[in-house]
């Protein structure tokens, strides 16, 4: 049995015990999934940032050609990148996929500090602590907010960024008040109480995805609900739908000088291709890609396509 990383979070240890139990009690499919995830956990590490344990998964060849930092999205965790990690590692890149506080295997913040600026400060601490240099960033959904705040506020050696399913959404006073209540009701009240993955999958398949997703990845998405602190959902939802954030976003992207690719799914009803193109047009060093036959969940729907997009962008700016 593999030894546990020291230190490690309670969420990490509990999940590992669940996987070990599945090796003894579950179906063949569940046993295979448990073995696979236990294998991934061998590359899990923890560092203290801002007084809280942060989890990151660090993998790749011994002499990588570069480093890609992967930033998950809203109500997600690092495992949303697991298939993309495999592709990037096979192409010779080191990958570091971390969990923001209150998400995945990172600790929850007892002071409930879940503002974009808090996540950006944590990201700076993580990068400095583990010594990442000359890195490329790929971020999804909410993740680009954190990446933008980080590169604009902190000294860094970021070389390029890819933002998946991130755009400039229309907003007004009514939307900024109604959206947080609606989203919190769906995710914090309805979805979080589910004990079976099928209703959550049906919602995602009908509203967010344009492709069938493998059973393993359905469960990866479902696990996100249990790992994410409800306060993180409330605060990030309120912030990204606020008129203030809508007003700041153009300036955030205009201030960036490294090349950014905005990639959106053609069938994404949340962050449409048109929304992504609006941001690209505001960016002095931006490019744009509309991915056909793809919804909002590109990292789970089309992971190989997502990896190829990252690799092409890095290659064109190396």
Contacts 24+ apart (CB under 8 A), 191-194: 191/225, 192/225, 192/226, 192/230, 194/222, 194/225
Name the fold adopted by 46-316: Rossmann fold (3.40.50)
Beta strand segments in the chain, E: 44-49, 52-59, 66-71, 93-98, 135-140, 158-164, 260-265, 286-291
Q: Are strands 135-140 and 158-164 parallel, antiparallel or unpaired?
A: parallel
pLDDT at residue 1 in the model? 53
pLDDT at residue 199 in the model? 67
pLDDT at residue 206 in the model? 59
Place of tokens 């003894």: 24
Beta bridge partner(s), residue 135 = 67, 158
Classify the C-alpha dihedral 197-40-143-231 as positive or negative.
positive
Q: DSSP 3-state assignment of 189?
A: helix
C-alpha 135/C-alpha 30 separation (Å) is 35
pLDDT at residue 154 in the model? 97
pLDDT single digits (tens) 10-61: 999 999 999 999 999 888 989 999 999 999 999 999 999 999 999 999 999 9
pLDDT at residue 77 in the model? 97
pLDDT at residue 275 in the model? 95
pLDDT at residue 253 in the model? 96
Task: Give the helix, strand, coil percentages of the chain, each rounded to 5.
Answer: 50, 15, 30
pTM over 0.85: yes
- Provide CATH 3.40.50.1820 ranges for the chain: 46-316
Q: What are phi and psi of 31, to 5 degrees?
A: -65, -40
pLDDT single digits (tens) 272-297: 999 999 999 999 889 999 999 998 88
Residues of the chain with pLDDT under 50: none
pLDDT at residue 172 in the model? 80
């Amino acid at each position: 049995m593999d030894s546990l990383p020291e230190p490690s979070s309670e969420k990490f240890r509990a999940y590992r015990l669940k996987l070990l139990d599945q090796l003894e009690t579950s179906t063949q499919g569940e046993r295979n999934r448990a073995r696979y995830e236990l294998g991934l956990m061998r590359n899990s590490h923890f560092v203290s940032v801002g007084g809280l344990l942060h989890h990151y998964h660090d993998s790749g060849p011994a002499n990588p050609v570069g480093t890609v930092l992967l930033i998950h999205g809203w109500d997600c965790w690092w495992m949303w990148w697991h298939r993309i990690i495999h592709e990037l590692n096979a192409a010779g890149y080191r990958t570091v996929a971390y969990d923001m506080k209150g998400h995945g295997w990172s600790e929850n913040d007892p002071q409930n500090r879940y503002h974009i600026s808090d996540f950006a400060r944590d990201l700076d601490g993580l990068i400095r602590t583990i010594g990442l240099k000359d890195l490329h960033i790929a971020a999804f959904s909410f993740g680009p907010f954190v990446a933008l705040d980080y590169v604009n506020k902190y000294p860094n050696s970021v070389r390029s960024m890819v933002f998946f399913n991130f755009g400039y959404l229309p907003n007004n006073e009514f939307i900024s008040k109604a959206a947080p209540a609606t989203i919190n009701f769906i995710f914090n009240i309805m979805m979080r109480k589910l004990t079976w993955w099928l209703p959550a999958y049906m919602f995602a398949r009908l509203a967010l995805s344009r492709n069938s997703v493998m059973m393993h990845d359905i469960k990866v998405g479902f696990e996100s609900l249990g790992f994410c602190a409800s306060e993180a959902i409330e605060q990030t939802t309120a912030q990204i739908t606020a008129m203030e954030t809508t007003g700041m976003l153009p300036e955030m992207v205009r201030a960036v000088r490294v090349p950014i690719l905005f990639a959106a799914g053609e069938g994404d009803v949340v962050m449409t291709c048109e929304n992504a193109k609006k941001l690209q047009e505001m960016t002095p060093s931006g490019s744009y890609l509309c991915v056909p036959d793809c919804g909002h969940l590109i990292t789970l729907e089309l992971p190989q396509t997502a990896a190829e997009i990252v690799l092409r962008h890095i290659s064109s700016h190396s």
